[in-house]
Structure 1
Amino acid sequence: MSHLDQQDKVAAPAVDLPEDAVTACDLFAGAGGFSLGAHFAQVQVAAAVEFNRHAAASYRANLIDTGLLKASLFEKDIAKFSPFDLLAESSLKDRGCDILLGGPPCQGFSAHRINGAGINDPRNALLLRYFEYVRALRPLFFLVENVPGLLWPRHASFVDAFYSLADSAEYSVLKPVILNAKDFGVPQNRRRVFLLGYDRRRLSNAPSWPPTATHGEPGNTEGLPEWLTASVAFAPPLEGDLNNIHMRHGAELIKTFEKTPPNGGSRRDSGRVLPCHKAHIGHHDVYGRINPAHPAPTMTTACVNPSKGRFVHPTEHHGITLRQAARLQSFPDWFNFEGGIMAGGVQVGNAVPVNLAKEVIAPLRDAVLNHRAAQRLREIADEAA
């Protein structure tokens, strides 16, 4: 049984959680990869903020309308939406927030931005906006996910400001860590940086984090089970799957794909080399086929477009389908993306892979429960004194 099949069995509509459930808020929630991972980690997402209308529609249709989450979804521009309004209009007002999640838009930090591009990208300021929510919601933990380019020297001022704001609010932030999704049950080579902060008013010691790789030695690609390779994406789709769609290609491009060897062949094998390919060596993967024997390449926001990376089907003569891209992000097959293929591709590429989200959140859930248990013991001791 694949991990996707296992998730299908787990992902029945959620029942009412006990009053002491661990709660979370998901900022820049996208279609809901972080939130769905939190659900699988037995954390109740009580509020989420997402401004993109297609992503918000996907979040609502899959996670709220199904009854899976009891979250309040705010389709707001986070730069203008006050965290105090979120508190007032969600269940977090009464229950509080244990874990604040968020992946601020990462294009300003991306490796695709070259020659200093992105240094003054206004989207980078959203990383600091995230911390205004930390101040207001006062979670026990906050967790930021972003691309490794966040740690490049040219973005140091933003990271330094983030750490400074955390310290002024009496939060400690652990050293950034870079995790690869393929080491945590995701069939994809995807490196992302995580920043974990904790409230030092309430915790005297840092939690045990990051989590240990769950699937072999980090970086190992040999001897992987089939469901940890890209092959998992290419099983037959469910009947009537609305996301079983791929881009339409012209006759010339289809001929190129026909000349490209199966299972990992590149555009160079097809003999098709455009002027832009000669000018920029970084384009060597475009129009390449995915090798199903290995973890897939990173799913970007253009993951359904073969002109943007190695996103051609291993054997068929077209780009991968939206469903196949979603599987490579460990989304279960019942999860449908709204807005069509291009909007769906953006949502898939922006998402935190579901399995990775589950694994990074689970130890924080345990730390919250341990903190509560320690508090209760102290209260009992005080009453007995």
Structure 2
Amino acid sequence: MPSNMTAKCRKKESKSSADRPLVCVDLFAGAGGFSFAAMQAGFTVAAAVELNAHACKTYKKNIADAHGVSLYEGDILGVCPDTIKKLDIGDGQECDVLLGGPPCQGFSVHRIKGAGVDDPRNQLILKYFEFVKTIRPKVFLMENVPGMLWERHRTFLDAFYLQARATDYKVLQPIEIDARDYGVPQRRKRVFILGIRGDMDLDIHWPPRPTHGDAKALEQDETLQPWLSAQTVFQMDDVAGDINNVHMRHSPELIKVFKATPKNGGSRHQSGRVLKCHQGHDGHKDVYGRIDPLKPAPTMTTACINPSKGRFVHPTEDHGITVRQAARFQTFPDSFQFEGGLIASGVQVGNAVPVKLGQILMETIKEGLISDPKKK
């Protein structure tokens, strides 16, 4: 339990509902992309929960220590929602937004049917709504991969909506959002589900109106800006002493492949070389390919610093992208440092909600909250 909880609780209880800031709690917080975005949008993050030790170190360094956020480090199944409600939100106070969503991989049909209800992964959905029932946020916002809408995950989605109705929340239909439509220089599709407490009469314009688009979209809407290309990241200068300005070390054989691969978007098939690992089969077409600087970058996955996992080779240099470049594609500021080393940092970056997108989502929710006639 964080040592500063009691002091924070007293401070929050001393504030009236009239002058308190909008408050959110971040479950499955990761390195803090959504929390950081919420703060950029003007929210106060009261508490966060995260299991991964490296992500916790990153969260503490960039958010918790600097902004007084209570970080619960460990399995969410062992965290008591009532503790967060009493110590971090404060008796008599309200949580405005509950962020985060249970990892989708824990809810595939074969796991639910085969593993049984005793599998802890299948308890995450129930635990999520234990937080909803206890904290009673005005709004909850869940983010997940598009795969959660696949038919084989129908059990998870149905269970989610069933739990939401049981806790008296109006849940909007899942929406798929591409981050490049909101000023993120990356193709990244994610599903967001917004829930509104039954007694709230909120006018939230959901989903937010896109700010960017392709040429066709720009012809139809002159207020849009063009998608940001990967070049916006690669043109940025390095920051002296940046611990995240590192990339993977590659074998001499692999470097030869990179050197033979055409610059600015070339694929390994154009290199004229075949790696031993691809002899006898074609492999994924984007593996070891260069990022095209004139287009939005590919999705930054948890393996985004590894060229063997996708099109993650620098456009003109003969190595994979750095952690910092990946973080810039996720619109993290250069002041945000990732802990845990190369691989662990890449995982944290790939799991994060892009800061720019998260900020727009939270600003949209904020507009609905502050215009609520019931808000005191």
Out of 185, 200, 203, the position equivalent to 1:187 is 185
CA contact (8 A) 1:277 1:283 kept: no
Matched, 1:207 2:208: no
What residue identity is the alignment partner of 1:30?
Answer: G
Report if aligned partners of 1:99, 1:141 keep a CA contact under 8 Å in 2: yes
SS of equivalent to 2:194? strand
Q: CA deviation at 1:202?
A: 2.8
Following the alignment from structure 2 to structure 1, what is the Cα–Cα distance between the partners of residues 171 and 54? 33
Partner of 1:8: none
Indicate conservation of the 8 Å contact 1:105/1:124, yes or no.
Answer: no
Say which is worse superposed, 56-65 or 338-347, in terms of deviation.
Answer: 56-65
Quote the offset at 1:51 in angstroms: 1.4
Would the aligned equivalents of 2:184 and 2:329 in 1 still touch at CA under 8 Å? yes
SS in structure 1 opposite 2:300?
coil
User: Given residue 368 of structure 1, which amino acid in structure 2 is its aligned partner?
Assistant: L
- Are the aligned partners of 1:277 and 1:284 in contact in 2 as well (CA < 8 Å)? no
Task: Give structure 2 stretches of 5+ with no counterpart.
Answer: 1-14
What is the CA-CA distance between 1:90 and the residue it aligns to?
Answer: 1.4
- d(CA) in 1 for partners of 2:315, 2:23: 41
Unaligned runs of 5+ in 1: 1-15, 377-385
Query: Within 1, Cα distance between the matches of 2:81 and 2:160?
Result: 17
Deviations 1:214-256 (A, max 9, x none): 1236996999979821112222210111100000011000000
Instruction: Give me the whole-angstrom Cα distance separating, in 1, the residues matched to 2:133 and 2:215.
Output: 35
1:247-258 to 2 correspondences below 5 Å = 247-258=248-259
- Change over 3 Å in CA distance of 1:280–1:98 after alignment to 2: farther
Q: CA deviation at 1:125?
A: 4.4
1:293–1:374 Cα change, 3 Å: same
Alignment of 1:114-125 (within 5 A): 123=121, 125=123
- Partner SS, residue 340 of structure 2: coil
Q: Which moved more, 1:16-25 or 1:92-101?
A: 16-25
Q: How does 1:185-264 map to 2 (within 5 A)?
A: 185-203=183-201, 207-216=204-213, 228-234=228-234, 235-264=236-265
Distance 1:324 1:116, change over 3 A: farther
- CA distance in structure 1 between the partners assigned to 2:51 and 2:297 by the alignment: 29
Tell me which residue corresponds to 2:266. Answer: 265
Distance 1:153 1:94, change over 3 A: same
Alignment match, 2:151: 153
Matched, 1:37 2:37: yes
Encode CA deviations 1:68-100: one digit per residue, 9 max, x unaligned: x33211112102212112223313445321000
Note the 1:252-331 alignment, pairs <5 A.
252-273=253-274, 283-331=284-332
- Give per-residue Cα distances to partners, 1:290-332, cap 9 Å, x unaligned: 1111110000000000000101111111110000000000000
What's 1:169 paired with? 167
In structure 2, the partner of 1:72 is 70
For 1:277 and 1:219, the matched residues in 2 are separated by 38
- Partner of 2:132, secondary structure, is helix
The residue type equivalent to 2:56 in the other structure is: A
Q: Is structure 2 residue 100 aligned with structure 1 residue 102? A: yes
Change (3 A) 1:314 1:167: same
Change (3 A) 1:365 1:269: same
Work out whether residues 369 and 375 of structure 2, in 8 Å CA contact, stay in contact via their aligned partners in 1. Answer: no
Task: Report the more deviating stretch, 277-286 or 81-90.
Answer: 277-286
Determine if contact 1:188/1:298 at 8 Å carries over to the other structure. Answer: yes
Q: Is the 8 A contact 1:46 1:92 kept in 2?
A: no
- Contact 1:119–1:154 (CA<8 Å) still a contact in 2? no
Cα distance in 1 for residues equivalent to 2:284 and 2:241: 35
In structure 1, give the amino acid aligned to 2:142: V
1:198–1:206 Cα contact (<8 Å) kept: no
Q: Deviations over 1:326-382 (max 9, x none)?
A: 0000000000000001000000000000000001111111111112x4455xxxxxx
Mapping for residues 347-366 of structure 1, pairs under 5 Å:
347-366=348-367
Offset, 1:269: 0.9
Structure 1 contact 55–338 (Cα < 8 Å) conserved: yes
Q: Tell me, yes or no, if the aligned pair for 1:119 and 1:155 is still in contact at 8 Å.
A: no
> 1:252 corresponds to which letter in structure 2?
E
Aligned residues: 353
* Correspondence for 1:10: none
Q: Distance in 1 between matches of 2:254 and 2:111?
A: 31
Kept in 2, the 8 Å contact 1:181–1:189? The answer is yes
Cα RMSD (Å) of the superposition? 2.9
Amino acid at match of 2:25: C
* 2:218 and 2:225 in contact (8 A); partners too: no
1:25, 1:286 → 2: CA distance? 38
- Aligned partners of 1:264 and 1:291 also within 8 Å: yes
The amino acid that maps onto 2:205 is: S
